[in-house]
Amino acid sequence: MKLEFGYLKWLTGGIAGLMALTAASNWLVNPFSIFDSPAIHGFNANKPGYVDHLRLTHVYRVNRLQPECILLGTSRTGRGLSPNHPSLADLNCYNLALPAISLYEMRRYLQHAQAVRPQKLVILSVDFRTFNTGPDTSGAFSETRLRVNSEGERQFNVFSSRLPDMASSLVSTSALLASLTTIRKQAWVKDTLAADGYWAPLTDRYDHLAAFGAYTLNSTRRFAEMRNNDEVFHSNTDELRQLLRDAYGNGADVRLLIPPSHAWHWQTLWLSGLWPGFEEMKRQLLSINEAEARRAGRKAFPLWDFSGAYGPALEQLPTTQTGTMHWFWEPVHYKRALGDKLLDKMMHAATEHDAPDMAGFGVLLKGQELESHLGRLRAMQRTYAASHPDDVARIKASMDQAGKHEHH
């Protein structure tokens, strides 16, 4: 009996020791970026696969950092807008961007951030994909993880979410495998998650030519899914209304923007037959923003439109695989160089005279001028198509390829 008891004692102690070692290792490596562990160059500073964990990461980062300013949007915001911009430097700003985020999730993460600490400034980037994306169905998004429920009421989530999250991040097999991957791939990754939430590039080396082709295929398939998407579009319109109603009600300073993409991407959207839907999104954005401002008795939040085939969106593609681009990574995502220009304009820090390649880029939308603005963008798109026949031919070829894959 004593022998059996001793065996169980050693077994229990061994298991407990192994779990403690696993927990300590996972805390130190911090693969999901939720602990306040040190970032050690060459060991754990770079986080491969960080995008997959952001719906977990952001919640606990916001809890710990308590930012006074947040940037909220899709991956375009993550890659393009840096909280380290001079206009934001004194605001303890955090980039809360999420891949393929819906307006419902935007509203919920903004509620969470506001419950942790009311923000002095919110920069909200809304694009066509946001309006056509339903709530996350992968299981990565957790309602109970957030500080408040959808009605804005505090929710007790220690046992339902916080403890399970901590346990899975410290002693689970998936966390251990993620830690091993983090250590092993330190020198392999091309970007990582900065402490302020920015999706920081680690190299400027990029095959833009291949990326333009790949993203055209991806966008074409996504646009095909959006064609019969009226229910999701209207649902997101309702979510936008509630998000802005909350923001006007709690006194937040919000800057809205429609982000830029390369003219190549806008041509893909045009050829997909969704340009009228894109224009309707802008009408809804402006109308709802102005209506909620009147309802709250406040001045409307500024709404900037940086879309369209002009200015930096006309940047020439490199002719070789090793050529670089200044403003864009591929047709969809803009670089920080352009993101800084956007923030300059939105935060009124721009110089009086824009540089030639930024002349007039970005329009502050107003109700009485919207239709003429939309007409100008249509004309610019037609001009781009006429002046870039080779690019348009390549776009059409990629779209045809995507269509053939769909039928197979």
Q: What is the pLDDT of residues 216-242, one digit of tens each?
A: 999 999 999 898 888 999 999 999 999
| Main-chain dihedrals φ then ψ at residue 37, nearest 5 degrees | -85, 155
Tell me the average pLDDT across 234-255: 94
Q: Which residues pair with 93 in a beta bridge?
A: 69
Higher-confidence residue: 89 or 127?
127
Confidence of residue 4 (pLDDT cuts 50, 70, 90): low
Judged by average pLDDT, the poorest of 3-7, 136-140, 184-188, 266-270 is: 3-7
Question: Is residue 124 within 8 Å of 106, Cβ to Cβ?
Answer: yes
Establish how many alpha carbons lie within 13 A of residue 244's alpha carbon, considering only the half-sphere containing its beta carbon. 30
Structure letter (DSSP) for residue 158: I
Give every CB contact of residue 157 below 8 A, 6+ residues apart in sequence: 144, 145, 146, 147
Nearest partner of 210 among 400, 51, 74, 398, judged by Cα: 398
**Residue-wise DSSP of 88-146:** GTTS-EEE---TT--HHHHHHHHHHHHHHS--SEEEEE--HHHHT-PPP-SS---STTS
Please report the pLDDT score of residue 408 as a whole number. Answer: 45
* Measured distance CA(249)–CA(89) in Å, rounded: 26
| Per-residue CA distances from 219 to 193, 222, 259, 380 (Å) | 25, 5, 16, 21
Please report the pLDDT score of residue 281 as a whole number. Answer: 96
Question: Quick check: 3 pLDDT over 80?
Answer: no
Structure letter (DSSP) for residue 380: H
* Measured distance CA(115)–CA(148) in Å, rounded: 7
Single-letter amino acid, residue 106:
M
* Measured distance CA(95)–CA(88) in Å, rounded: 11
* Measured distance CA(168)–CA(158) in Å, rounded: 14
High-pLDDT (> 70) share of the chain, %: 93
* Measured distance CA(86)–CA(344) in Å, rounded: 9
**Greatest C-alpha distance within the chain:** 89
Judged by average pLDDT, the poorest of 158-172, 239-253, 327-341 is: 158-172
Single-letter amino acid, residue 387:
S
High-pLDDT (> 90) share of the chain, %: 79
- Range ranked top by mean pLDDT from 275-279, 396-400, 403-407: 275-279
Give every CB contact of residue 144 below 8 A, 6+ residues apart in sequence: 155, 157, 160, 161
What kind and span of H or E run contains 75?
Answer: helix 75-80
Q: Which residues pair with 191 in a beta bridge?
A: 201
Single-letter amino acid, residue 121:
L
Tell me the average pLDDT across 335-351: 86
Tens-digit pLDDT profile for residues 149-194: 999 999 988 878 999 999 999 999 899 999 999 999 999 999 999 9
Q: Count CB-CB contacts under 10 A for residue 209.
A: 17
What burial class does residue 144 get, using C-beta atoms within 10 Å of its C-beta: 0-12 exposed, 13-18 middle, 19+ buried?
Answer: middle
Please report the pLDDT score of residue 169 as a whole number. Answer: 93
Residue 149 tokens read as: 């429920």
Sign of the dihedral through C-alpha 72, 77, 81, 83? positive
Tens-digit pLDDT profile for residues 53-99: 999 999 999 999 999 999 999 999 999 999 999 999 889 999 999 99
Give every CB contact of residue 58 below 8 A, 6+ residues apart in sequence: 96, 98, 109, 197
Torsion angle (degrees, nearest 10) of CA 368, 239, 255, 198: -140
Confidence of residue 136 (pLDDT cuts 50, 70, 90): confident
* Measured distance CA(335)–CA(262) in Å, rounded: 11
Q: Count CB-CB contacts under 10 A for residue 153.
A: 9
Query: What does pTM read for this prediction?
Result: 0.92
Tens-digit pLDDT profile for residues 12-51: 666 677 888 899 999 999 999 999 999 999 999 999 989 9
